[in-house]
Every structure is written in structure tokens, then in C-alpha cells.
Structure 1
Amino acid sequence: MAFSLFSTKNRIINLVINDHSIRFLELKQESPPAPQRWLERFLPPGIITDGKIVDFDSLSSILEECIDDWKIRRRSIRFIVPDPLVIIRKVTIPADVQEDEIKGYLYLELGSSIHLPFEEPVFDYFSLNDNGKTKELLLFAAPEQNVMEYVDLLNRLKLNPVAADISPLSLYRLYHKLDRAAVDEVLFTVQFDLTGVNLCIFDETVPLVMRHFSLSFDIDQWEVSRDTLGLMVCKFNGEPEELVVQFEDIFREINKLLDFYRYSQGNNEKQDITKFLLNGDHPMVMAIYDEMKERYDIPVDLITIDNETKSKHMSIPSNLFLPLGLALKEVQ
């Protein structure tokens, strides 16, 4: 997915900005995927909330420091559109709309026959089925104003945005590149991060439905430090029961999405969910993994990358898998 806002450049930096962090990764090689370097910076609460920039000046100052420290000024940038901003929706259009006319048709129908919870979206689409009378499309959309705030900020700091992506596609791209995908697979991805959880169901390579849920985050209950590699280490110092309540809420949402997918299939000969794929930067992600294995009959998988060297300096932290998947995106 690309939001068609950009031109193509070389030597691309891959940037992931969310409510609690800024991460960058530069790719060394694609096969097997290997990063050349990566770094991250913790974002204090209140600068970005639910994917929307709240404190533009603070974010600009922090990002400028990162650009100088990481030596990436004037580089081309891919970035992830924050999960809370993105909507994936199936839409149906007349079959006689030609391929080169689809985008214009969608522009005309947005707000009339196609309704989104925001005005003036930036969007892309993926063609699904054509029965001769209608065409079914998968629409990816986000509010243009919020996306352009990131683009304008990057441009102001002398970076060159060339492509935008969404997190489930970046994660799946890495999963597929590592030859982990199976034929006729229905994959349920769970991106479990410190301040939010993103759920997405893939029918083979197509993300059919996505749901995002924010997690409450009280900075006073967390200790944030850096490890020897300069990466974030977050330790929860509050009452464990508070995290348990959060996790139970998310498991309920996982169950709701499972039920929704099964109901939407009706009597179709589609498979049920064949696998969970768990990833994320939450410090309890392995406990979440164990709990999912206990609760569900569906296999639960984690992305792993085997390194030829055992040096810890060459290992790739799991919270960098998302920008690594982004790095595998082709810029058109």
C-alpha cells in the first residue's frame, strides 16, 4: 500500500513513529533480511495521542535531535501511518468502472455512497472480486490532515518522505519474506505494543479487517531506561492486576474479531483462522504469548530471525521487526 503522495529516491530510511517511540532502521540486504543499523527514542506521553500529533513543537524538537544523532538528514524516508488513523473497509463499485478510473470514482463516491468516519481521506485500494456486475475492492484510508502533518514535519526537518505503509502489511511482508506463510493460510496478526494493540486478519496475502485499541499508559507506573545497545527497556512498577485487566480487555477484543470473521464467512468454504502471529514491543509480550497458547486451539507464532553470528550486537530485537518489514517495501 502506498498513499500516492511521494516521488521515488534512493538510500531510504525506515521510520516508525507511534505514541511512545520513534524508531529508525536502515536495511543492509533483503535476502535474508538484515538491517545495517537501527536506533530508537522514547516519546513522553502527550506528544502523540492515538496516532495524532498533539504537541507539534515538542515532536519537532525531539525528531530533530534524532535526525542529528542518527545522521539521517536529507535522507529519503518510508514511514508507517499510525494504526489508530487507518481504516480497512470492503467497498463495491460497478463492474464497468475501468481500472484507470477506479481512483477517480472512489473520490467522487466518498461521503455519498462510501462513508468514512473522517473527511478528506488519503487512500489506496486493492481489487478483490469481479462478478461481471460489481467489483469488490479493499479500501485503505486515513485522514489526510493527520497524515500530511507527519509529511510536512518530515519535510520541514529536511527529510524526504517517499512512501507510506500500514503496520500489518509491513509485518506480513517480513513474515512472507522469511518463508513462514503457508498456502491457504488465514493469519490473525496481533501487534501488542506498550500503548496500543493492533489486530488484523489476512486471507493469504490480503488484510481483510483491522482493529486498533489503545492501552492506558501512566508514565509514573513505568521505569524507562536503555540497554547496552541503546534500545528502550520498559519495566512496569505498578500493581500487576492493572496489566491483567488491560490484557483481559484485549483478549475480549481478539475473541470479538474471531467471531466477526467466522460470522462474516457464513457458509462459505473458507477456512477458519489457521494461525496467530504475535509481535510487539510490550515488555510482557512473552507472557502474552504463553497466555494465548493456553487460551486458544489456534497455533501462535512469533517472528524469529536466525543470525549466523551469536554476537548479541548482531541480533535483531523483536520490536524492530516492524521497521524491518517496512524496509522491504518497494517504492513505486
Structure 2
Amino acid sequence: MAFTLFSSKNRIINLVLNDHSVRFVELKQTDPPAAQKWCERFLPPGIITDGKITDSDSLANILEECIDEWKIQRRQVRFIVPDPLVIIRKVSVPADIQEDEMKGYLYLELGSSIHLPFEEPVFDFYPLANNGKTKNLLLFAAPEQYVMEYANLLTSLKLTPIAADISPLSLYRLYHHLGYSRDHEVLFTVQFDLTSVNLCIFEGSVPLVMRQFPLPFNIDHWDVKHDNFNEFKYTGETEELVIQFEEILNEISKLADFYRFTLTNEKRDVTKFLLNGDHPMLPAIYDEIKDRFDTPIEMISLDTDFNKKQGSVPFTLLLSLGLALKEVQ
């Protein structure tokens, strides 16, 4: 499941951009694969906003510096489509549509029987149940304009985009690779970053429903240290963060209830939370979720995987690692 815009080979870097950072990981193609190189760069506010490039010149200049500093010139690159641009939607199509005809059928139906909140999407799909009359599919879509802005920018910097992915799938890929997944589980992933939160519920390896929420971010309320990796310390009013956390906890509860009561008619419930993200207060968020819900909660540990002679891979790079595993497993 990914946006199939490109073709692929090897020597690939794996790039994650969001409203406040640029991160990359390169895997050494061993068995099992090991992280060979990783770096991070802070993005000042206003360069990417809600996943959209708003200052392309500044972003190009920063990426050019990163490419030179990280020595990744003329490389192939996978990247994650920013969460605010992506939607996941369940759709039904006639059962007699063949798999090799599905893309064309969906393209023709977009805007008529299948409605999206944007025009000219790039999309992919995942087959679900088939009752003989109709087939259910999961449709993954994003505005082609904004996805191609990233691809074209990377191309202009002499990188070669070969694949675009979405963050919940990258996170789940790493989760599965490290042996955390269990049969018949319903996993609720919480990607809690500095400027946004992504919530996604998986049945097995299939992401059925996803919600994304921006977080207010005032750079004046944070002390940012720019070393090899960014360090953030909050200097504003604690009450502001408490309100933000409480709002997200309410959204987690709403989405869990939506899954239980609306999607499954009380037949299934979330069996585990998986917390990830780059928010500097992630341990406190973990404690809040653990106290609020009866459902077990887990965080991915890289203690024995990926951490080779090069040192420990920061937990902020889990998405990049999951993206790096694409087509490896």
C-alpha cells in the first residue's frame, strides 16, 4: 500500500518531512537490516504548514544544505506524504471489476460516486471483503498537487523520488518487523509529534480509519537546541500543554468508541495502543494514556535492533526506519 508514482532500485535514503523537521535514515542492506546513517534538521515555522510547502525557496535552501552536509547527493529517495494531506476511506465497487481494472475504475468514479475533499488525487487501494455483489476497498488518497510539490522539489535538488508512503503504514511496518504484532489484534497507533497528532486504528496490518490533528506550536514558548538532533524544552505556561493533551485524549476516546460502536457494532474493540512520536513530553503522554484507558499501551524499543556500531538510533526516527523497511521485508 503506497502511492505508486515512481519506479525503484537501491541505494535509497528515507526522508520524513513535517512542519518542524527534516529527518532521514539509510539502512545497510544486511540480514537483518541495520541503520547505517541518520540525521535531522530543524525547520523554522512557516516553511511547511499543515503538511503543505509554504516557503519553497527556504525549504529548497535548507534541503540543499542537508544534502551536502549529509553527503546524500544524487540518491534515490522514499518520502512520507505528510499526514494532513492523506485520507483513508472505505469504498464499495462492483464485484466484477478485475484487479487490473481497479485503478482505472476508481479514477473514473472519483468525483462522481466516490467523493474526496480535493480534486486530482494520487491514490492507492487495498482490497477488503467481497460479498459476491460488491467489493469493499480501502482507498488511500492525497492531493496530487501537494505530493508532486515534494517530488518535484527533491528532483530539482538532483535526488530521485521512487516511492511515497504514509506514516501509519511506515510505523506498522517497523512494529511488525520487530515482532510486536499479534494475531487478531486491533492496534490503535498514536503518533504524537511536536506540531501534530495522527491517530490510526489497524485490524491486523490494515489501517481502517485515520484522524489527524494539528497542535498549536509557538516557537517563543520553546527552547530549541540544534545539535546533531533537536532538543526541545517547553518554557511556556504548563496549562496550555495540559489543555492540548486533554483535547487529544478526548479524540482518542472518540475514535476508539467510533471503531467499537459504529465500525464493528460492538463486536470488536481496540486491544492495544502503540505510542510513538517526537514530542519531548512523550513519557508523560504515555502515563496519561495508561491512566485514562484500560487498554494496554506499548512503545517501540530499538535496544537490540538497528543499533549497531554507529550508536543508538533516536526514537524520533522510528518513522524513517519504518519507511526504510519498505520493500525490504
> More deviation in 212-221 or 312-321?
312-321
Aligned-pair distance for 1:32?
4.1
User: What is the match of residue 192 of structure 1?
Assistant: 192
1:244 alignment partner, one of 242, 245, 250: 242
User: What is the match of residue 154 of structure 2?
Assistant: 154
Contact (CA 8 Å) 1:93, 1:136: kept in 2 or not? Answer: yes
**Paired residue total:** 329
CA distance in 1, matches of 2:319, 2:118: 26
Contact (CA 8 Å) 1:307, 1:314: kept in 2 or not? Answer: no
Percent of residue pairs identical: 70
User: What is the match of residue 64 of structure 2?
Assistant: 64
CA distance in 2, matches of 1:171, 1:30: 20
Query: 1:220-259 deviations in whole A, cap 9, x for unaligned?
Result: 11111135xx111011100111100111111111111011
Describe the SS at the equivalent of 1:245.
Answer: helix
2:279 alignment partner, one of 257, 277, 282: 282
- Please list every run of 5 or more consecutive structure 1 residues that lacks an aligned counterpart in the other structure: none
Query: 1:180-208 deviations in whole A, cap 9, x for unaligned?
Result: 00110000000000000000000011000
Aligned-pair distance for 1:168?
0.3
Contact (CA 8 Å) 1:169, 1:207: kept in 2 or not? Answer: yes
CA distance in 1, matches of 2:135, 2:79: 30
Amino acid paired to 2:260: R
User: What is the match of residue 207 of structure 1?
Assistant: 207
Contact (CA 8 Å) 2:13, 2:76: kept in 1 or not? Answer: yes
CA distance in 1, matches of 2:30, 2:188: 25
User: What is the match of residue 230 of structure 2?
Assistant: 232
Aligned-pair distance for 1:287?
0.5
Equivalences for residues 44-63 of structure 1 within 5 A: 44-63=44-63
Equivalences for residues 243-282 of structure 1 within 5 A: 243-267=241-265, 269=267, 271-282=268-279
> More deviation in 302-311 or 318-327?
302-311
Aligned-pair distance for 1:4?
1.5
TM-score, normalising length: structure 2: 0.96
Query: 1:149-207 deviations in whole A, cap 9, x for unaligned?
Result: 00000000000000110000000000000110011000000000000000000001100
CA distance in 1, matches of 2:162, 2:135: 30
> More deviation in 22-31 or 103-112?
22-31
CA distance in 2, matches of 1:30, 1:137: 35
Over aligned residues, Cα RMSD in angstroms? Answer: 1.8
> More deviation in 12-21 or 30-39?
30-39
Contact (CA 8 Å) 1:190, 1:276: kept in 2 or not? Answer: yes
Describe the SS at the equivalent of 1:63.
Answer: helix
Query: 1:38-58 deviations in whole A, cap 9, x for unaligned?
Result: 000000000000000000100
Describe the SS at the equivalent of 1:79.
Answer: strand
Change in CA separation of 1:163 and 1:82 when aligned onto 2, cut-off 3 Å: same
CA distance in 2, matches of 1:308, 1:294: 29
Aligned-pair distance for 1:307?
3.1
- Please list every run of 5 or more consecutive structure 2 residues that lacks an aligned counterpart in the other structure: none
CA distance in 2, matches of 1:156, 1:33: 30
